Amino acid sequence: MLLAIDVGNTNIVIGVFEGEALGRSWRLATACERTGDELGLMFVDLLERAGVRIPAIDGVVMASVVPQLTGPMADMANRYLGLTPLIVEADTDIGLANLYAHPSEVGADRLVNAVAAWAAFGRERGQPLIVVDFGTATTFDAISARGEYLGGVICPGIQISADALFQRAAKLPRIDVQKPSTVIGRTTVASMQAGLFFGYVEMTQGLVRRIRAELGGAAFCVATGGLAEVIAPETDVIDAVDGDLTLRGLKMVWDRRTR
């Protein structure tokens, strides 16, 4: 068994692979103040409740964009699971060339997404890829037809935009992001929901089309992240949705480094 951990700014996503299959997965709220002991108790409880025996776990692989939690998470794996984790970073050999101007600046989650997308959607097709990750930030990453990570776009996530409206505009309320029934809102909340939801749909369409044009026009687009299932049906530019893309990418990097 392999334990894969994706430490994001909003959520920590955990998956247990049994062989090649992703058996169980969980999503926890990210709290930067958690210690290795707190994380250890949480992880052990989750695993045991799911019937996963701790001694059956053979390895731990993780990516983290939250430096405050990288150390405690590694400490948790060492002391509670008895394993030293493979921490995927920008300079890790992932099997794809990283053509970013400053390779060390790329988030590990963006790289492992690229690995998984290339393996699942790009290699056999021999065409470039675009990966859209609807997370705390919305990222668009481009992979060439030769399997090279080229770079991409980083935008504020939809929830960040919603929170900014509430914090910076005195009369606007805090709202949950969801699809409204019409674009023309007849209440303040409906108007905000229309701007956020349909604004992000149009942003996604526009950026994917512009990236496709720079890649030659035939790029396959895969979406992942919390809002992928919600946004994808509203646009014709997303070809596939894979909510487990990051976990699968971590598994592939582990396999490459340990085979």
Cα–Cα distance between 14 and 64 in angstroms, integer?
A: 12
109 assigned to active site: yes
226-233 contacts: CB < 8 A, separation 24 or more? 226/10, 226/11, 226/134, 226/135, 227/134, 227/158, 227/177, 227/200, 228/132, 228/133, 228/134, 230/179, 231/134, 231/200, 231/201, 231/204
27 forms beta bridges with 13
* Cβ-contact 106, 63 below 8 angstroms: no
Choosing from 109, 133, 141, 242, which is the catalytic residue?
109
Which of 256, 242, 254 lies closest to 117, judged by CA?
242
Active site residues: 109
